[in-house]
Amino acid sequence: MKRLSAVLAVAMLGAATGALAQTYSQTPQSSAAPPASTSEQEQATPSKADKQALMKDCLSKVTAANPNAPQKDIKAYCDKQVEKYSNPPK
């Protein structure tokens, strides 16, 4: 039973992380051109504050869903999720 609830919690977290990633990646499009000094790579890369917010959110959700899971495992999982969001496949 514990394993099933852990799997469901991780699945829910994955869905929540995906929703967060979509929220952060959807920026309003304006008709004005971006400044010449800003490259596409800079616009697509999340800021340090964005990564910290994603990590904090991930840690709190996974810890709440899996209170008995080791913190190092939770942190490792969240590190992977934030990294996956930060470096999407091209």
Does the residue 35 lie in any domain? no
- Rounded Cα–Cα distance for residues 43 and 37 (Å): 11
Which has the closest alpha carbon to 48: 88, 87, 86?
86
Domain around 53: 1-12+45-90
Q: What pLDDT score does 27 carry?
A: 46
The model carries a pTM of 0.51
Q: Report the mean per-residue pLDDT for the chain.
A: 73
Q: Residue with structure tokens 């829910």? A: 12
Q: 8 or 66: whose pLDDT is higher?
A: 66
Q: Residue 58: pLDDT above 90?
A: yes
Reported as a pLDDT band with limits 50, 70 and 90, residue 11 is low
Q: What is the DSSP letter of 81?
A: H
- Rounded Cα–Cα distance for residues 60 and 28 (Å): 28
Does the residue 33 lie in any domain? no
Does the residue 32 lie in any domain? no
Does the residue 40 lie in any domain? no
Total number of domains in the chain: 1
Structure token digits, residue 67: 């209170």
Structure token digits, residue 34: 């971006």
Q: What pLDDT score does 18 carry?
A: 60
